[in-house]
Amino acid sequence: AQKITQTQPGMFVQEKEAVTLDCTYDTSDQSYGLFWYKQPSSGEMIFLIYQGSYDEQNATEGRYSLNFQKARKSANLVISASQLGDSAMYFCAMREVNNNDMRFGAGTRLTVKP
Amino acid sequence: EAQVTQNPRYLITVTGKKLTVTCSQNMNHEYMSWYRQDPGLGLRQIYYSMNVEVTDKGDVPEGYKVSRKEKRNFPLILESPSPNQTSLYFCASSLFRTDNQPQHFGDGTRLSIL
């Protein structure tokens, strides 16, 4: 069963505007971690932000923030003040305390328009 | 510089010709893993290793082998490659397997099996 769902295959945003990339997950573990990665056209995977299931506050890292709604099992990435360099694929991922792997969603391709 | 190094970055080869993709990390990480990335499917785990001499199958292990004789190295072996193994491959590592650890990725290896 799909554990990570990213429903937006592609998104467009105007430069300097904010954008939200959706991610929902499925787990029965109480302890888990949620991660977002960026994959630019050059192909490497860049770790952006982490949210723990027990964290009471939403994670933030510079222009990235994570809108964590535990009851809804969603962990949406918010990018503020988009830049042209934000154009990339974005992957949501989860690690569960009782599993040995990291599960990834199918990704969202973000395009920032000038 | 802390990094995960994969080689080669690109490889075109023919069906049935054994190949090895090397992976090395310099961060003294215990956990290492291999993923393949295919369009629309995100990243899927092939194999992982919790420590030296400890390896296990991920979601898509068929046609692949791994070994972990040293902590820093985790090669991926395709004994008899087939065209359906054409993909983008990533090696990744983290300090431990726990749910709060992001994985650090290599730059990827693009394999084409003709």
Chain A: residue nearest B96 by CA? A100
- Per-residue pLDDT tens for B30-42? 999 999 999 888 8
Sequence-distant (≥ 6) Cβ neighbours of residue B97 within 8 angstroms: A100, B30, B31, B50
Whether residue A93 contacts residue A33, with contact meaning beta carbons closer than 8 Å, is answered with no
Chain B: residue nearest A29 by CA? B99
What do you get for the CA distance between the two ends of chain A, in Å? 39
Q: Do B99 and A104 touch (CB under 8 A)?
A: no
How high is the mean pLDDT of chain A? 94
Backbone angles phi, psi at B77, to 5 degrees: -115, 130
CA B39 – CA A87 distance, rounded (Å): 17
Q: Is residue B110 within 8 angstroms of chain A, CB to CB?
A: yes
- Per-residue pLDDT tens for B14-68? 999 999 999 999 999 999 999 999 988 889 999 999 999 999 999 999 999 999 9
Q: Is residue B59 within 8 angstroms of chain A, CB to CB?
A: yes
What do you get for the CA distance between the two ends of chain B, in Å? 36
CB neighbours (10 Å) of residue A66?
24
Q: What are the helix and strand counts (H, E) for chain A?
A: 0, 12
Instruction: Determine the distance in angstroms separating the CA of A43 from the nearest CA of chain B, rounded to an integer.
Output: 7
Sequence-ordered strand ranges (E) for B27-108: 31-38, 42-51, 54-57, 65-66, 76-78, 87-94, 104-105
* pLDDT value of position A2: 62
Q: Kindly tell me if the per-residue pLDDT of A86 is higher than 70.
A: yes
Q: Is residue A105 within 8 angstroms of chain B, CB to CB?
A: yes
